[in-house]
Amino acid sequence: MVIKQKNITKTAVQETIFVKRLSEYISNGEYQQAVDLLQQVQYTSSASDNFLTTCLMQSAKYLCFAAAQTQTEIEQYKESLNAAENRQNNLEEEISAVVEVIDAVLGFESGKSPSLPVLEASNGNRQRAAAPPGRLNTIIKFFTGKAPTNGALPVMQTEKVNPAQYRLEVYTLGTFQVYFNGVLIENWSSRKGTHIFKYLLLNGRRTIHKEMLMEQFWPDSDAEAQRNNLNVAIYGLRQVLRESECDFSHVLFQNDCYFLNPELDIWIDADAFTTHYKAAKKLAEQDKTEAAISEYAAAEMLYEGCFLPEDTYEEWTEPVRQSMQMEYLDTLDYLSSHYLELGDYTACISMCQKMIAVEMCSEEAHTRLMRCYRRQGQIHLALRQYDRFVKVLESEFGIDPSSETEALYERIRNGESI
């Protein structure tokens, strides 16, 4: 009996020490050590003979392992946060530089002495914005085509333009909005009338025969119903457009054709986007990179979403929508490639993320993001981007990434420079 009592006492002491060490590991956040201890005890202790104790040990080990993984993720996200804060500081410097240029230009044009803006600092203190001279000179050169001399800010020359008496500004990318002489047109009461207006805008200055409009928008109605529906739609459209200018007719009718009033000065964001894109394409083919980048950047800023997204079921809008989306992706591809080569990883990441938002299977966008993250020292983000790409390809097409992408992944995982 004495020997048995000693064995029980020894076992109890061992279990007490185990529980104490386990508690200390957990209290100190040393979860991996806790996992190792549980693993050791689970296979060496007689407690493993007890089913309930075994289950509890297994659960504790699983929870400690999950905590250790979470701890690792927290450290990784801290690194990402620090990198993001650095990028934010760089962006704030660039914003300050742009505001400084704007302030200087407005000051020169108005004859007033330019002053730097007061910005709210990240620590809550208000301070003067101070842009780095190099960045400031770069921005000035971008807008004027030449670098400033002796630190002087140039006076930017602007043309005096006599605005047209009747001007339409039409936004079709991302949302449909129309401004007539600066006033937003609202209350589009007639859906068909609005479609006809969009159709006329899409066809520019060309005249559209009434029969074409009738067949386009009321294909299943008889001739009489088509004619009545067209008249009602045109009347409603004219009433909406005339709310801001009663004496002006935006839509005219002549020789059985409808067309927009030639007196209208019409600006459409989709047309401006295409103009910049085509100019950029031509300049790129001529190896005029700087000029091409300016045109591509202007096009990218105009594209705020797909063409007439509220009319995706209208067949006549689809060819334009698809064409512009391809041009937008080509724009993002060129810009992201340029920024990657330039080492502007923040801009490259932004362009690539926009590419993926439109075409989530874009291999170029995913691999450029991987390169950007790796070059910023965020290997975990680069590897995670690869995992996302693999899942997208699997879910959409049931295929694997190309051998080139897999090779890039292996190089990043092995810590190699790319």
What pLDDT shows up at residue 114?
A: 45
User: pTM of the full predicted structure?
Assistant: 0.62
Q: What is the mean pLDDT of residues 258-287?
A: 95
pLDDT at 405: 95
Q: Write the pLDDT tens digit of every residue in 229-242.
A: 999 999 999 989 88
- pLDDT level of residue 19 (50, 70, 90 thresholds): confident
- Measured CA distances, 17 to 30, 247, 298, 415 (Å): 17, 94, 69, 41
Q: What is the pLDDT of residue 283?
A: 97
Kindly list the domain boundaries of the chain, sorted by start residue: 1-147, 167-263, 284-413
Other beta carbons within 10 angstroms of residue 157's beta carbon come to 7
Is residue 222 exposed (0-12), middle (13-18) or buried (19+ Cβ within 10 Å)? exposed
> What is the token pair recorded at 62?
């699983």
pLDDT tens per residue across span 102-132:
766 665 555 544 444 444 444 444 343 444 4
pLDDT value of position 300: 96
- pLDDT-derived band at 18 (thresholds 50, 70, 90) equals confident
Q: Which of 178, 183, 217, 179 is nearest to 199 (CA)?
A: 217
Instruction: Report how far residue 91's alpha carbon sits from residue 85's, in angstroms, rounded to the nearest whole number.
Output: 10
CATH architecture of 167-263: Orthogonal Bundle (1.10)
Distance CA 37, CA 14 (A): 13
The region of weakest confidence among 63-72, 363-372, 404-413 is 63-72
Instruction: Looking at 183-317, list the stretches that DSSP marks H as alpha helix, in order from N- to C-terminal side.
Output: 191-202, 210-217, 223-241, 269-285, 289-302
Which tens digit of pLDDT belongs to each residue from 370-395?
A: 999 999 999 999 999 999 999 999 98
pLDDT at 132: 42
Strands 265-268 and 167-171 come out as parallel
Q: Which tens digit of pLDDT belongs to each residue from 43-84?
A: 555 555 566 777 787 778 768 877 876 776 676 566 656 666
Token pair 């209350």 is at which residue? 187
As a whole number, the mean pLDDT across the chain is 81
- Class of the CATH-defined domain 284-413: mainly alpha
Query: Over the stretch 310-342, which tens digit does the pLDDT of each residue have?
Result: 999 899 999 999 999 999 999 999 999 999 999
- Enumerate residues 6+ apart whose C-beta is below 8 A from 282: none
